[in-house]
Amino acid sequence: MHFMSPAKMAAVAAAEPTIPTAAVVLAAGEGTRMKSKLPKVMHAVAGRPLVQHALTTLSAEGLSPLVVVVGPGMEQVAAAVAPHKTVVQNDRKGTGHAVLQAKDVLNGFEGDVLIAFGDTPFVTAATVAKMRAARQLPNAPKVIVLGFTPPHPGDYGRLIVGADGLERIVEAKDATPEERAVRLCNSGIMLVDGKILWPLLADVGAHNAKGEYYLTDVVGLARKAGYTCGVVEGETDELMGINSRADLAKAEAVAQEQLRRAAMDNGVTLQAPETVFFSADTKLGRDVQIGPFVVFGPGVTVDDGAVIKGFCHIEGAHISSGAVIGPHARLRPGAEIGPDAHVGNFVEIKNATLEAGAKVNHLSYVGDARVGAKANVGAGTITANYDGFNKSHTDIGVGASIGSNTVLVAPVKIGDGAMTGAGAVVTKDVPANGLAINSARQENKTDFAAKYRELKRATKTKPPR
Ligand code: UD1
Ligand code: CA
């Protein structure tokens, strides 16, 4: 048998968190300070509801199960966090009371419980790992609180640390001036040995400024019961809590800053980074070039070497290598842009595939359609895909050429290599290599323009003054 030194044991434990850890994410608060009909945690940052940010991180860190505490009537939140379990806190009596609602669901779970807040979206995997590592050490504290030192501690709870570690947490509203002067704050995130969590929560009272059952009281109660509590520190940017629209805007700025940075670190050129907006799930390949003022909604993947020029709005789209988009293009959900395809200015693409090398360069709407490889769609072309009741499909064959200002009345099929004349209103399928024209025939009247001007000049009256 081999024996490890305590230092080595600690190092091994720190490297590999072995205590199974569940998470309870609190999201039942009304978010009064948001002044909104929407539950606070459904407000989006980087195109993703607040509550999903924390859940994505915790789930990637292997925490399981994840239980989300929601308020009554918050089906929307439950749907957004599915398949994770939700429990309803019918009366919102505070963060301690909220955690208690998850007790039954976690009945039989043996391990640690991490408590996180739906309104604190940016906690990182590394920080969660640091907290878990702190619980692996020999004689580890039973409670680990994630603290931070923001430049303006404001309304955050203060962490009161003594000789034996964390002694208690005091809410700003209940704090003495000396306590308020403490800069070390409570992020709200806490990791607790599951064996002691539920009995301690049962002892939490509501004798405080807000008359609520505070989760934060668990620390003082743990100390009274003879357990030690510790603090792990994180960064201000990752631990800001979002309570108001101003906080939301601040969080968006932080998220965008990180996403831009990550894009550039991964080999993307951003000509004017501060004007480009990403979603948390935007995927960008190497050598993608992005011009100024481009907005990425959720669900966008851009492959290596694609070029997105300025002023584009893109969501739910896939852009292949070598494609060129914009300036001023709009790609909506279901836009599948093939390799080397071009989408030019004032073009909208929705639920449509542009195959390799296809071009839609000017002033067009292409929806519910396929544009075959190397086909060219002329300026001003419209797929008339909606009759007020149903959406229909337009199919444009390989190498087809659609004349300027064509209206393709779907369902309709343009065969491979076929053409349409300028201004055609196409209601019937066009066979491969055929031409569809239905605009009126042109007649030229000799000298008409000159005679017309002469007549007009002779009869001109001065404009009234
Ligand atoms: C809380 C902490 C504070 C900490 C701050 C960090 C307490 C008592 N205070 O204050 O120490 O510095 O977070 O951001 O814990 N919630 C429920 N049910 C409730 C009440 C709240 O689910 O009955 C949820 C909210 O939806 C929110 C989270 O708990 O996601 C925190 O609640 P909030 O009211 O925002 O607490 P803070 O005042 O910010
Ligand atoms: Ca909060």
Hey, where are the domains in the chain? 6-239, 268-436
Residues counted in the chain: 465
As separate numbers, helices (DSSP H) first and strands (DSSP E) second, the chain gives: 11, 33
Asked whether 214 lines ligand 1 (CB < 6 A), one says yes
pLDDT at 15: 55
Cα→Cα distances 175→96, 169, 182, 203, Å: 18, 9, 10, 21
Same fold, 6-239 and 268-436: no
Asked whether 95 lines ligand 1 (CB < 6 A), one says yes
Closest to 80 in 3D by CA, of 114, 112, 107, 40:
40
pLDDT at 5: 56
Q: What percent of the chain has pLDDT over 70?
A: 96
Distance 120 CA to ligand 2 centre (A): 7
Residue environment code for 391-404, b if the CB has 16+ CB neighbours within 10 A, otherwise e: ebbbbbbbbbbbbb
Backbone angles phi, psi at 183, to 5 degrees: -95, -20
d(CA 58, CA 66): 8
Asked whether 148 lines ligand 1 (CB < 6 A), one says no
d(CA 383, CA 409): 6
Q: What percent of the chain has pLDDT over 90?
A: 93
Asked whether 243 lines ligand 1 (CB < 6 A), one says yes
Which atom from ligand 1 is nearest to the alpha carbon of 40? Answer: 26
d(CA 211, CA 424): 72
20-61, pLDDT tens digit by residue? 999 999 999 889 999 999 999 999 999 999 999 999 999 999
Distance 95 CA to ligand 1 centre (A): 6
Categorize the per-residue pLDDT at 465 as very low, low, confident or very high, splitting at 50, 70 and 90. Answer: confident
> Taking 50 as the threshold, does the pLDDT of residue 379 lie above it?
yes
83: left (phi over 0), alpha (psi -120 to 50) or beta: alpha
Asked whether 120 lines ligand 1 (CB < 6 A), one says yes
pLDDT at 461: 86
Cα→Cα distances 81→121, 186, 200, Å: 14, 25, 28
Q: Is the omega angle on the peptide bond into residue 411 within 30 degrees of 0, that is, cis?
A: yes
CATH of 268-436, one of 3.30.470.20, 3.50.50.60, 2.160.10.10, 3.40.50.300: 2.160.10.10
The predicted model gives 70-98 an average pLDDT of: 96
Distance 107 CA to ligand 1 centre (A): 24
Which atom from ligand 1 is nearest to the alpha carbon of 96? Answer: 15
pLDDT at 1: 34
What is the best residue among 70, 95, 119, 166 to mutate for testing ligand 1's pocket, by most ligand atoms within 8 Å of CB? Answer: 95
**Ligand nearest to C-alpha 247:** 2
Categorize the per-residue pLDDT at 4 as very low, low, confident or very high, splitting at 50, 70 and 90. Answer: very low
**Ligand nearest to C-alpha 99:** 1
pLDDT at 2: 45
Asked whether 101 lines ligand 1 (CB < 6 A), one says no
pLDDT at 6: 54
Asked whether 89 lines ligand 1 (CB < 6 A), one says yes
Is 2 in the active site? no
Categorize the per-residue pLDDT at 11 as very low, low, confident or very high, splitting at 50, 70 and 90. Answer: low
Exactly one of 313, 328, 362, 393 is catalytic; name it.
362
pLDDT at 439: 81
Cα→Cα distances 325→33, 131, 271, Å: 41, 44, 15
The predicted model gives 124-128 an average pLDDT of: 96
> Taking 50 as the threshold, does the pLDDT of residue 359 lie above it?
yes
Alpha carbon nearest to ligand 1 atom 1, residue: 188
- Look at the pTM and tell me if it is higher than 0.85: yes
Helix 125-136 to helix 6-15 angle (10° resolution) is 150
The predicted model gives 182-201 an average pLDDT of: 98
pLDDT, averaged across the chain: 95
pLDDT at 426: 98
pLDDT at 16: 60
Question: Does residue 55 contact residue 66 with C-beta atoms inside 8 Å?
Answer: yes
**Ligand nearest to C-alpha 187:** 1
> Taking 50 as the threshold, does the pLDDT of residue 456 lie above it?
yes
Distance 241 CA to ligand 2 centre (A): 5
84-95, pLDDT tens digit by residue? 999 999 999 999
Asked whether 146 lines ligand 1 (CB < 6 A), one says no
The predicted model gives 170-185 an average pLDDT of: 97
CATH architecture of 6-239: Alpha-Beta Complex (3.90)
